[in-house]
Amino acid sequence: MKSGTTNLLEILSERVIVLSDKGEWEEAYHAAVAAVDKARAAVKEEDEGAEIALIECLEMQGDILRQTGRLEESRLVYLEALETAIPLKVSLELLARVTASVGVLYDSVENDPEAIRFYERAVELYDRAGFGQTEPVADICNNLGFVYRSIGNFQTAEDIFLKGLDICRHDLGYEHEKTATLCNNLGALYLKAEKSTQAREMNLMALEIRLKLFGALHADTSQSHANLALSLCQCGESEEANEHFLAAVKGYEKHINTETHDYAAVVENYAEFLKLSNEGKSADVLVKKAQKKLSQVSF
């Protein structure tokens, strides 16, 4: 492309990043639109390389629309980027990124068949580009695993979560928050499938990582305590389950304004556990205390 066009697109792209980091989404969107308009003009002028620049600018515009909840507009922009790319020899990594973004959009509106189609296509493109064992693929595996779990295909969900976990361990390391997330999500899958011992181990691994990364009272650590408690219940380890329920409640109390639903859920599960353990009075005390705290939460 002409040096002037290249320089302007670089300036606008940098501006979009700066404004997005500040949360100034409307201004970031205007900058992205200006970049798209300039790239379109370069395409009309048959400026060499303009089509690829247009695809990158459309991706940027689509990202902002997605971030601000304008999902249908975002979908159309991403699809235009993909259609523009079809006759061109563009980077497979770029195609994979845009394809994955479309998958996220379909996922967010629970269009499972389309989400699966675009997620799996994105993984294929990353593989062909030589990036099949990288963090973006692990992120897709995490999302795709949830989609398959939601439609009841536990075996495929397990395979995909395990692939994502393997990528995280090798690309990011064992003690990384995304590794913990994959462990946590595998544990939740095993718990739902009543694979108690596997659920216990995955939830324990997630807890160990999160304790080291975030400390005892972080919301993610509390989630792992709560999930491990449920796994221990299935395994018949009541005393240990009680300890982790207590830790989960204590941790969520520190985040009750932002984790209201999760706090209420763990209290409900703990109360049911106490009742089954013939500790009905303790359950009543727990629930009354929680109700008082929840009544003070500002929505």
Asked if residues 54 and 40 have their Cβ atoms less than 8 Å apart, the reply is yes
Confidence band for 100, pLDDT divided at 50, 70 and 90:
very high
- Angle, CA of 263, 265 and 266, to the nearest 5°: 70
Determine the average pLDDT of the residues in 217-228. 96
Asked if residues 77 and 65 have their Cβ atoms less than 8 Å apart, the reply is yes
State how far Cα 196 lies from the chain centre. Answer: 25
pLDDT for the residue 2: 82
Judged against a pLDDT cut of 90, whether residue 298 lies above it is answered with no
Asked if residues 202 and 183 have their Cβ atoms less than 8 Å apart, the reply is yes
Determine the average pLDDT of the residues in 236-245. 96
Judged against a pLDDT cut of 60, whether residue 299 lies above it is answered with no
CA-CA distance, 101 to 262, in Å (whole number)? Answer: 28
Phi/psi at 24 (5° precision): -90, 75
The answer regarding whether domain 91-173 maps to CATH 3.30.43.10 reads: no
- The CATH number corresponding to 1-87 among 2.60.40, 1.10.12, 1.25.40, 3.30.2420 equals 1.25.40
**Percent share of the chain, pLDDT over 70:** 99
Interval 6-52: pLDDT, tens: 999 999 999 999 999 999 999 999 999 999 999 999 999 888 889 99
Fold (CATH) for 191-299: 1.25.40
Helix H, strand E, coil C: the string for the chain is CCHHHHHHHHHHHHHHHHHHHHCCHHHHHHHHHHHHHHHHHHHHCCCCCHHHHHHHHHHHHHHHHHHCCCHHHHHHHHHHHHHHHCCCCCCHHHHHHHHHHHHHHHHHCCCHHHHHHHHHHHHHHHHHCCCCCCHHHHHHHHHHHHHHHHCCCHHHHHHHHHHHHHHHHHHCCCCCHHHHHHHHHHHHHHHHCCCHHHHHHHHHHHHHHHHHHHCCCCHHHHHHHHHHHHHHHHCCCHHHHHHHHHHHHHHHHCCCCCCHHHHHHHHHHHHHHHHHCCCHHHHHHHHHHHHHHHHCCCC
Amino acid at 235: C
Average pLDDT, the chain: 94
Q: Tell me whether domains 1-87 and 191-299 share a fold.
A: yes
What are the residue boundaries of the structural domains of the chain, listed by start?
A: 1-87, 91-173, 191-299
